[in-house]
Copies of this chain bind each other. A is one copy, B any other.
């Protein structure tokens, strides 16, 4: 499905891959090795795809687009390198996390290096206004993650805080891809607002489905272990819903699981069951669906085109993906 979606931007996407391969290199061979491992461990390149489609939809000239798309992917990968350290993750996208292969120290520094590469790329290829927007979005990402950690292992935590966290840690960078596309096209403020909002809501839905997959997916499809949010004391919407509905014994079990530092298999299975039975997964998917609908509504600002179709398909894909 993603292949189909990417048809209108195949050339720019290939060019962005080339930039990633050729630009993100260091005189220190270990730095190159770690960052290329992280980048080559291909995710879905959702952010570059979204940015490139939106830029084409808005009518941006294509010269600088691949470098900017590559920079956005670099910011994302840099934050993954740090997140793996922060989350003490074992695996990422079905492969060993960099920190398991090279250790925390190297992951932190390689993330810093990658961040520098991303900053350089953006500085070289984009107008000051896009650069400002990027700095702002990257800052919001870090703030969202800090806010999340503040609430780790905290059972008294509500939907509002959860939404604030995911708007920062995930949706800010998505929104930047939409807004950046408009800036590169010198689009009207109405179009800029539409693309930014489209991308932000897709980003929110992406995180919501991610949080569902952490309960409902399989280790194999996810490429990381299921239940990791609970294991790390992260209260996501599926569990928040379960906790809101739970009474007595169930409530105690969830609280215990969330506060526990060493979660037994039994506790994990029981918590996952409670989440499933409470309808937490269904509610979260509905919430994601509503954000995708909201996202798509912003597309009415544009005339029909193959790029618009692709963006709409991308929004649907985020909702329907199984990994």
Contacts and interface: CB of A to CB of B under 8 A. Distances in A.
Interface of A: 26-28, 30-31, 79, 82, 85-87, 104-106, 108-110, 112-113, 115-117, 119-120, 123, 128, 131-132, 135-136, 138-139, 142-143, 145-147, 149-150
A175 to B, nearest CB: 16
Given A120-B139, A123-B128, 6 more contacts: A30-B149, A85-B105, A109-B142, A109-B149, A115-B115, A120-B136
A149 B105 contact: yes
Contacts of A86: 104-105, 108-109
B109 A26 contact: no
A31 B117 contact: no
Copies in the complex: 2
A146 B30 contact: yes
Q: Which residue, of A26, A30, A116, A131, has the highest number of chain B Cβ atoms within 10 A?
A: A116
A104 B116 contact: no
A135 B123 contact: yes
A116 B145 contact: no
B106 A104 contact: no
B82 A108 contact: yes
Contacts of A135: 116, 119-120, 123
Q: Could you tell me the dominant secondary structure of chain A's interface residues?
A: helix
Contact of A113 (B115, B120, B131, B142): B142
Contacts of A149: 30, 105-106, 109
25 contacts: A26-B143, A28-B146, A28-B147, A28-B150, A31-B146, A79-B112, A85-B85, A85-B105, A85-B108, A86-B108, A87-B105, A104-B104, A106-B146, A109-B145, A109-B149, A112-B115, A113-B139, A113-B142, A115-B115, A117-B139, A119-B135, A120-B139, A123-B128, A123-B132, A123-B135
A118 to B, nearest CB: 10
A262 B266 CA distance: 37
B142 A116 contact: yes
A151 B30 CA distance: 11
A135 to B, nearest CB: 5
Contact of A116 (B31, B128, B138, B147): B138
A119 B108 CA distance: 18
B113 A27 contact: no
Contacts of A106: 146, 149
Contacts of A146: 26, 28, 30-31, 106, 109-110, 113
A166 to B, nearest CB: 14
A27 B145 CA distance: 12
A112 B82 CA distance: 9
A108 B83 CA distance: 9
Q: Which residue, of A79, A105, A110, A120, has the highest number of chain B Cβ atoms within 10 A?
A: A105
A200 to B, nearest CB: 17
